[in-house]
Amino acid sequence: MNRKEFLSKVGFGVAAVMIPACITGLSGCKKTDSGPTNVDFTIDISKGALSANGGFVVKNGVIVARTKSGTFLAVAAACTHEGTTVNFNSSENKFVCPNHGAQFNSNGAVTKGPANTNLKQYNTSLSGTSLRIFS
C-alpha cells in the first residue's frame, strides 16, 4: 500500500466514525443550546457600558445591549454555531459572532450564517436605573 492509499483509507475511517457521532450530538459537531432558561436578574444602568447608548454587557449567559436610540435588547450570548460569545454592533443594531462571522438581528434572528438557529430572546423592563432581564 502506498502513502496515498493509506491516507485515503485513514481519512475514510475517521469520517465513518465521526458521522454517527455528529448525528447523535456526541462530538464537537454539536451546536449550542438556545440559551439560558429561567432568566431573571437586574442590572444597574446608571454606570458601566449600559449607561450610554450603544453599550453592551454579558451577564448570566445573556448579552444585554442598549441601542443608539436607547432601547434595551437581551438575547442569549452564545452563538448558536459554536458557542462563542457574540458582540453587539450598535451602528448596525445587530449581534455579531467574532469567531466565524454569524450575524443576528436585534431580535436574535439569524441574518447571516454559519449559524442557522436564532439566539433566544429575553424580556427587559426598566424602572428608574434598574433594568430587569427575564424569561
pLDDT, tens digit only, all 135 positions of the chain: 665 554 455 454 444 434 343 433 433 344 556 799 999 999 999 999 999 999 999 999 999 999 999 999 999 999 999 999 999 999 999 999 999 999 999 999 999 999 999 999 999 999 999 999 999
Beta strands in 1-135 (DSSP E): 40-44, 56-59, 62-66, 72-76, 87-89, 94-96, 103-104, 110-112, 123-127, 130-134
Tally of structural domains, the chain: 2
pLDDT at 7: 47
Residues 120, 78: one domain? yes
Same domain (yes/no): 24, 62: no
Residues 21, 45: one domain? Answer: no
**pLDDT score for 67:** 97
